Amino acid sequence: MARPHILSISVLFVFVFVAGAAHAQESGTPVFLVNQEVRVSNLPSLTAPSKNRSAVMATALDTILHEPAVCCGKNSALEDVAQYASLSDSLSLQELSTKLQGRHLLSDGQPIVVTSEYVPQSSIYAGFIVRTLNDQHALLIEWRSHVYVLYGATFDETRDPTAGVQDSIHKLFLLDLRFSDQRREVVFDRTTDDWGKVQGLLTVAYTIQPSPWK
């Protein structure tokens, strides 16, 4: 009989916390939410065919888009971009962003428009990362000259009626596509890792345009 009693207390606590947060926002008092977590779900489990930067970058692109017609195999809309990435070990995230940006065609001729954004280290802010992950879009991140898939984060959030929403990241959850074992899961910890060794981020999204043949 103890379990229903504990559950009722937990539900009551959640209700009181939410009601209190809502009242605080209505009264103009900032609300501080600690240890929030967000992760992008349903990413494919892909491993780069080699540990070369070019192979990792092409596989990372395939991972974050995870739509076969769009990227990155034979007859996909971004097949040429993925091939270019896989052949260039000196390709930067900024250069990849330029190659991705714009109009491409699916195998049936239907156009898509790819939007990519490269953010250098000096312009990265926590809210951008949290918002992108909340929208269920994984990112590419270059850290210590390696490219990773950024798929999650833990953070604190302050909701201030006058200053807006402000986020402070504690950890970033990354995938190292060079590996398929326990080395694949990597954590960037803001308290122990050097943010200065992060080179930049890349976000990629696409929209399918109306077919000219319909």
More confident call, 24 vs 48? 48
CB contact at 8 A, 83 and 90: no
Classify residue 182: in a domain, yes or no.
yes
Quote the CA–CA distance of 132 and 139 in Å, as a whole number.
8
Residue 29, pLDDT score: 85
Beta carbons within 10 angstroms of residue 93's beta carbon: 21
Q: Is the pLDDT of residue 3 over 50?
A: no
Lowest mean pLDDT among 25-39, 72-86, 142-156, 189-203: 25-39
Integer-rounded Cα radius of gyration of the chain: 21
Query: How far apart, in whole angstroms, are the C-alpha atoms of residue 198 and residue 159?
Result: 27
Return the number of other C-beta atoms located less than 10 Å from residue 86's C-beta: 22
Q: Does residue 186 lie in a domain region? A: yes
Number of domains in the chain: 1
- The CATH code of the domain that includes 174 is 3.90.70
131/200 Cα distance (integer angstroms) = 17
Would residue 136 count as lying in a domain?
A: yes
Q: State the average pLDDT for the chain.
A: 85
Write the CA distances from 89 to 52, 54, 59, 119, integer angstroms.
7, 5, 13, 20
Is residue 47 in some structural domain? yes
What is the distance of C-alpha 69 from the center of its chain? Answer: 21
Spatial separation of the C-alpha atoms in residues 167 and 177, rounded to whole Å: 28
Question: Please, are residues 138 and 2 in contact by the beta-carbon 8 Å criterion?
Answer: no
Q: What pLDDT score was predicted for residue 10?
A: 35
Q: H or E element: which one contains 38?
A: strand 31-39
In the numeric block, the tokens 């207390």 are attached to: 9
* pTM score: 0.81
Does residue 203 lie in a domain region? yes
What pLDDT band is residue 211 in, cutting at 50, 70 and 90? low
Is cis: bond before 71, omega within 30 of 0? no
Express each pLDDT in 135-158 by its tens digit: 999 999 999 999 999 999 999 998
Per-residue confidence at 91, pLDDT binned at 50, 70, 90? confident
Return the beta strands (E) in 40-101 as ranges: none
Q: Is 89 inside any structural domain?
A: yes
What is the extent of the structural domain holding 84? 30-208
What does 126-141 look like in DSSP terms, one character per residue? HHHHHHHHHTT--EEE
- Whether 9 is covered by a domain: the verdict is no
How does pLDDT run across 99-141, given as a tens digit for each residue? 999 999 998 889 999 999 999 999 999 999 999 999 999 999 9
The pLDDT score that the predictor gives to residue 13 is 33
Q: Let me know if residue 85 belongs to a domain.
A: yes
Nearest to 203 by CA among 113, 126, 141, 125: 141
